[in-house]
């Protein structure tokens, strides 16, 4: 809210903060208090976290978007007891390596929109490069399975198929689609000698600086919303004591991919949870579509 007040009324942070805290405004929040309370309950209890071999405290964050409205209905920025307000929020501020979570955004959505694939198209699960000591790209389980359909490649999160598709489309095309259609803003083309415009960056989610959870969540929400992308929001409007609207928070939106391709993507992500790497996310009372992503040594 403070940021939007700054932009709308050309204010400094201090001026906007004073305006907000002393103006008697009504903020119409999108947060669902039941969902928010549930997040805070489970994330505050560190016994709910999986055990790790590391002595370092495992961290986590979550953002929940209502796919019908595009509104953010719950958000939590860390685990353990909350230590204060307006502190570091990992859901919106941290940039972490997405790993294979990026593949639907950069690779498969782009390929669907280019007409290169459908869920039943076939591609070869074989390495594209060979050295004396290894094959590249490696699959997580070290197995190469030969010809298979795209739905299975997504479900098993195979690096070979996604990297070969990136090479076919070019990393630039994948980056452009994810940036312009699904609004991932953290890609770099040349910063400090680093670039994300590589087959491993776009095809395996190995990025120079990573992504943030908010943008990833908003992108995935577009798959569930018939391909319509909407910027997540935490409030709809702000009114003054006289009832006049001070700020109206209208969402930016665009048709990121066709309804048909959004359906295809959701179908493939449902298969990922039914039979692939995401089986641990199954729920008994509803269908689930999702994607796993890990980095080296399961660090992220």
Q: What is the structure's pLDDT at 284?
A: 94
- Tell me how far apart the alpha carbons of residues 262 and 220 are, in angstroms, rounded to a whole number: 10
Q: What is the structure's pLDDT at 132?
A: 72
Q: What is the structure's pLDDT at 288?
A: 97
Q: What is the structure's pLDDT at 211?
A: 95
Q: What residues have CB less than 8 Å from 41, skipping those under 6 apart?
A: none
pTM: 0.94
Q: What is the structure's pLDDT at 25?
A: 93
Q: Which of 10, 297, 27, 268 is nearest to 148 (CA)?
A: 268
Contact 92, 217 (CB under 8 A): no
Q: What is the structure's pLDDT at 96?
A: 93
- Tell me how far apart the alpha carbons of residues 132 and 20 are, in angstroms, rounded to a whole number: 64
Provide the residue-wise pLDDT of the chain in tens; the chain has 300 residues: 999 999 999 999 999 999 999 989 999 999 999 999 999 999 999 899 888 888 888 899 999 999 889 999 999 999 998 888 888 899 999 999 999 999 999 999 999 999 999 999 999 999 988 877 788 999 988 899 999 999 999 999 999 999 999 999 999 999 999 999 999 999 999 999 999 999 999 999 999 999 999 999 999 999 999 999 999 999 999 999 999 999 999 999 999 999 999 999 999 999 999 999 999 999 999 999 999 999 887 788
Q: What is the structure's pLDDT at 54?
A: 80
Q: How many Cβ atoms sit within 10 Å of the Cβ of residue 127? A: 18
Report the Cα–Cα distance between both ends of the chain, in Å, rounded. Answer: 30
- Tell me how far apart the alpha carbons of residues 294 and 287 are, in angstroms, rounded to a whole number: 23
* Degrees, nearest 5: CA angle 259-223-174: 95
């Amino acid at each position: 809210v403070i940021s939007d007040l700054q932009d709308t009324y050309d204010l400094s942070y201090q001026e906007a903060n004073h305006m907000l805290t002393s103006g008697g405004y009504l903020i119409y929040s999108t947060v669902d208090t039941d969902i928010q309370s549930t997040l805070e309950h489970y994330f505050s209890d560190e016994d709910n976290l999986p055990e790790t071999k590391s002595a370092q405290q495992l961290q986590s964050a979550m953002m929940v978007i209502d796919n019908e409205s595009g509104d953010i209905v719950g958000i939590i920025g860390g685990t353990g007891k909350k230590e204060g307000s307006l502190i570091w929020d990992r859901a919106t501020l941290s940039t972490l390596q997405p790993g294979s979570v990026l593949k639907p955004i950069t690779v498969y959505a782009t390929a669907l929109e280019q007409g290169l694939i459908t869920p039943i198209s076939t591609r070869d699960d074989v390495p594209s490069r060979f050295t004396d000591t290894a094959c590249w790209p490696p699959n997580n389980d070290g197995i190469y399975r030969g010809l298979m359909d795209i739905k299975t490649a997504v479900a098993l999160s195979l690096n070979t198929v996604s990297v070969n598709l990136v090479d076919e489309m070019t990393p630039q095309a994948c980056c452009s689609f994810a940036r312009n259609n699904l609004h991932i803003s953290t890609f770099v083309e040349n910063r400090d000698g680093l670039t994300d415009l590589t087959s491993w960056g776009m095809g395996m989610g190995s990025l120079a600086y990573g992504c943030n959870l908010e943008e990833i969540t908003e992108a995935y929400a577009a798959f569930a919303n018939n391909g319509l992308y909407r910027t997540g929001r935490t409030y709809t409007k702000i009114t003054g004591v006289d009832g006049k609207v001070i700020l109206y928070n209208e969402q930016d939106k665009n048709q990121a991919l066709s309804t048909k391709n959004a359906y295809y993507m959701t179908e493939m992500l449902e298969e990922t949870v039914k039979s692939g790497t995401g089986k641990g996310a199954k729920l008994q009372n509803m269908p689930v579509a999702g994607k796993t992503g890990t980095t080296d040594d399961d660090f992220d």
